Amino acid sequence: MKFLLVLSVCSASFQTCLPPVTNDVFYDSHFDCATAGYLNAMGMMRDIGVEQTNEQRIVISFQCKETPIAGVHHRIYNQ
């Protein structure tokens, strides 16, 4: 199993959320995914900025979705 990070940016003022965002990176453990979630959320808050965050009461949440990843099969071709 791998873990996919899904982030949601919401405005408490408007009671709405943007569509969830993924970065298509699969993490080997829940710990790695959760750590990336906190770091990504912090970076997003900095990008949004203090003024907009305060005005719109921005919050960012995340989840780590456990995802089965099928084994990758490589074929060897003779040339």
Beta strands in the chain (DSSP E): 2-11, 16-17, 21-27, 58-67
The pLDDT of residue 61 is 97
- When mean pLDDT is compared over 23-32, 45-54, 61-70, the highest value belongs to 45-54
pLDDT at 69 over 90: no
Structure tokens at 6: 């899904």
Banded pLDDT at 73 (limits 50, 70, 90):
very low
The pLDDT of residue 79 is 46
Please state whether the predicted TM-score (pTM) of the whole model is above 0.85: no
Listed by start position, the domains of the chain span: 2-67
C-alpha 63, offset from chain centre: 7
